[in-house]
Copies of this chain bind each other. A is one copy, B any other.
């Protein structure tokens, strides 16, 4: 019997294990045009916290007591569509479960990039890397010589931003929580790493970027965003990717002391979703494939074993349990 995680209640603030339940799922019959897949890798990502609220967003909220969704890499078991055959490796959004029967149009074959492990398509060649790549280069229009500040730089998206920025000849300052994660950020090539737990961020960033920042890649919002306002150079560009610090705050307003600098420094602040850039996916696969092959962009995944530990892996995103991309291997 197939199994799928259901959202049983909407979290108030930080989610807990009690919000989730693993339930048996009966697969529908394999009709014409449908494909039966077995998931090999599941992705858990901070944006999923937003889908747990019952509010309109760029993706609809999870329905209560229904199978949850998320990025997954799967192997085709049986296909009744001519585009897919048993054994094919595919990507789809029916994660948080072990098996699924899906319409062929919900599946994408993994692009044939030599030497890339399949789970990379959930990481540096998927949502993670795509968010970093398009956020940095398309949204923030970061270019050679720019000084780039990136928050949560030891996280999945942040560590990709650090490495792409270095591959493109930028100066990079990354923030992370604690000395070990800061060491990791430096090992990725960052010119400096700020431990945001060690002192006032607005002061640390001023020391790390005495001439200010041209670009801020925001994964956390809050105090990090405010410090970036404080140290933005004229015509700085901010790409707003996530506000993990805000997902769980449960209505606490974010306070900004330096937001008025947006006028004097003509700062541009732009929110984005990487799927808006799908028309440039070829360019992304080409560049990122080359950087991965050349060792310029590496990933250090945090891998949790087994479908039953999926919520635990998800909850770990909010307690800093992961360095790099958080994955579940089935």
Question: Contact check: which of B247, B263, B271, B276 meets A240 at CB < 8 Å?
Answer: B263
Per-residue CB contact flags for chain A residues 244-266 toward chain B (1 = under 8 Å, else 0) read: 00110001011111011111111
Interface string of A202-245 (1 = CB under 8 A from B): 00000000000000000001000010000000100000111100
A154, chain B: closest CB distance, angstroms:
21
What is the minimal beta-carbon distance from A47 to any residue of chain B, in angstroms?
Answer: 8
Question: What B residues does A261 contact at CB under 8 A?
Answer: 271
Whether B260 pairs with A221 at a CB distance below 8 angstroms is yes
Cβ of B276 and Cβ of A272 under 8 Å apart?
no
Given A251-B257, A255-B254, A256-B256, the answer on whether A273 and B269 have CB atoms closer than 8 Å is no
CA gap between A254 and B263 in the complex, in Å: 15
Closest to A237 in B: B270
Query: Least Cβ distance of A161 to chain B in Å?
Result: 16
Chain B neighbourhood of A221, CB < 8 A: 259-260
Contacts of A50 in B (CB 8 A): 264
Contact A263 B272 (CB under 8 A): yes
Interface centre among A251, A266, A272 (most CB of B within 10 A): A266
> Is A266 touching B272 in the complex (CB atoms < 8 A)?
yes
Contacts of A272 in B (CB 8 A): 263, 266
| Neighbouring B residues of A57 by C-beta, 8 Å | 264
Chain A contact patch, size range: 20 to 34
Whether A91 sits at the interface, judged by CB under 8 Å, is no
Whether B251 and A254, one on each chain, are in contact in the complex, defined by CB atoms closer than 8 angstroms, is: no
B271 with A267: CB separation less than 8 A: yes
B residues in contact with A263, CB < 8 Å: 58, 240-243, 271-273
Q: State the CA gap A234–B56 with chains docked (Å).
A: 12
A268: CB under 8 A from chain B?
A: yes
Nearest B residue to A243 by beta-carbon distance? Answer: B260
A269 and B269 form a contact (CB under 8 A): yes
Chain B residues near A240: list those with CB within 8 A.
262-263
Pick from B242, B243, B266, B276: contact of A276, CB below 8 A.
B266
Q: Which residues of B contact A267 (CB under 8 A)?
A: 269-271
Q: For chain A residues 34-48, which have a beta carbon within 8 Å of chain B? A: none
Residue picked from A58, A269, A276, most chain B C-beta under 10 Å: A269
Partner of A246, one of B234, B255, B260, B271: B260
| Cβ of A127 to closest chain B Cβ, rounded Å | 14
Q: Are A264 and B271 in contact (CB under 8 A)?
A: yes
Q: When A269-B269, A270-B269 are in contact, do A254 and B259 touch as well, CB less than 8 Å?
A: yes
Q: List 18 A-B contacts (CB under 8 A).
A: A58-B263, A58-B264, A58-B265, A221-B260, A226-B253, A240-B263, A241-B263, A242-B263, A243-B259, A256-B256, A262-B271, A263-B272, A264-B271, A266-B271, A266-B272, A267-B269, A267-B271, A268-B271
